[in-house]
Structures are given as C-alpha cells and as structure tokens.
Amino acid sequence: MRSPTSKASVAMERPGAIEKRWHLRGFLRLAGVDEVGRGPLAGPVVAAAVILPEGFDGEGITDSKALSAIRREALAARITGTALVGLAYVPAPVIDRFNIHGATLIAMRRAVLALPVLPDAVLCDGKFVPKDLPCPGEAVVKGDSKVTAIAAASIVAKVARDRLMETASNHFPGYFFEKNAGYPAPIHKAAITEIGLCPLHRLSFAPCRAVLEGPGGEAF
C-alpha cells in the first residue's frame, strides 16, 4: 500500500480530515509529532509523539504557543494521563553538530521510537518527515492547528522542555532559564555577555559564537 511521503500537506482541510484520509486507507493508529526549542540559544530541542485514544476529548487542544503556561500544564496532564506518549531530548552538542534542522528531525524520530507501541503512521508538524521511520508519515504544514494529535504533541513537548529548563536554572544560575527557557531574551543575552556560556548553550548559534570568539569570551 503506497503512503504519503515527506511532502507537506498544504491543502485546506476540515478538522479531522487528514486523520480520516489515513483511516480510510487502513492506517488506524496515528501518532502526532511536534517539537519545541528551535529558536533558543540554550537547552535541547524536544520532540513528542502522541497517539490519542479513540474518543479522546480534544476540547482546548491547540498549538501550545497559543496557551498560557497554566493551561498547558493542565492539558499536558490530561494528555499524558490517557494517551501513549514518546519524548526525546536532543542536546546542544548534537544541535551544533547537525544544525537545528537536522537535530529537530533526529528528535522527532527518537520520539516516535520512544512510543510504547509502533504507530501505523505518523503526522509531523511542518514540511518534513524524519527519514528511517518504521512506518509511513506525512508532514502537515501548521499541523498543530489541523491535527489534534500534533497539537497534543506540541503541548507535551513544550511542558517537558519548560520543566527541564526551570530545573537547569538551579544548576546554571544567572541566565534566568526559569523565565526565558533559553530563548534569546534581552536578560539572557546580557547574561552570556557578562558571565560567559554554560554547557547548555548552542555554540553554533551566532550570539553564543560571538561571545565565545570575542574578547574575553568564555565558557564554563
């Protein structure tokens, strides 16, 4: 049975239409896959894969960026309490080696492989599907607003990463990771100029590279 490849789905479809198209072709167990953390200067890129149970109430499940932190936490608890979830963390050294695009695909593939069961197919947010998946997949542009399982994955990944960066702030004080999650907020950029870099920083990203290579640049 031929299946969609990494070409992105860009057609305007009704909610649930993408999943229905796969279901009609015999692919019933669908995993939504999304990532967070492409833009930060520090910390990992985190991906989640989510298989929602049949009859799951998708009320309120949407792009994690459109939700408050409190709402994300509540929804993440509901999702992880009923769905099958795989999580993957790809750290800064891997991002520096493979670039953020490559590291994102690595994270998404690892998240799928971390699921407790193999999905029949995966629906990935964006324009690309990771290579070497054990099942077919489809890339869905703006998938977190079209596919409930992708939106659920974005919420789970966002909450997991925010928690990790909050914990990291205890180990690497001064960067205010608990507030900026490693993103290039002014207070974070000022901190790396004043106190240097820590092991969580992405050395290939221009602001970090400038600090490392500039006068007085240093890393822990």
Strand ranges for the chain from DSSP E: 8-9, 30-36, 45-51, 84-90, 121-125, 137-140
pLDDT in tens, 61-95: 988 988 999 999 999 999 999 999 999 999 999 99
Residue type, 45: V
Report the pLDDT value the prediction gives residue 220, as an integer from 0 to 100. 55
The CA–CA distances, whole Å, from 207 to 27, 42, 188, 200, 218 equal 44, 11, 11, 14, 13
| Residue 173 pLDDT level (bands cut at 50, 70, 90) | very high
Residue 3 has pLDDT above 90, yes or no: no
Q: Does domain 8-168 have CATH number 1.10.357.10?
A: no
Report the pLDDT value the prediction gives residue 79, as an integer from 0 to 100. 97
Report the pLDDT value the prediction gives residue 6, as an integer from 0 to 100. 43
Report the pLDDT value the prediction gives residue 214, as an integer from 0 to 100. 79
Report the pLDDT value the prediction gives residue 218, as an integer from 0 to 100. 59
The residue that leads in pLDDT, 41 or 1, is 41
Calpha distance 41→196 (Å, rounded):
13
In this structure, the strands spanning 8-9 and 84-90 are unpaired
Average of per-residue pLDDT across 18-40: 97
Calpha distance 198→217 (Å, rounded):
12
Mean per-residue pLDDT over the chain, rounded? 92
| Residue 105 pLDDT level (bands cut at 50, 70, 90) | very high
End-to-end Cα spacing for the chain: 53
Calpha distance 94→109 (Å, rounded):
14
Residue 169 has pLDDT above 70, yes or no: yes
User: Where do the domains of the chain lie?
Assistant: 8-168, 171-213
Residue 197 has pLDDT above 80, yes or no: yes
Residue 118 has pLDDT above 50, yes or no: yes
Average of per-residue pLDDT across 161-188: 97
Residue 219 has pLDDT above 80, yes or no: no
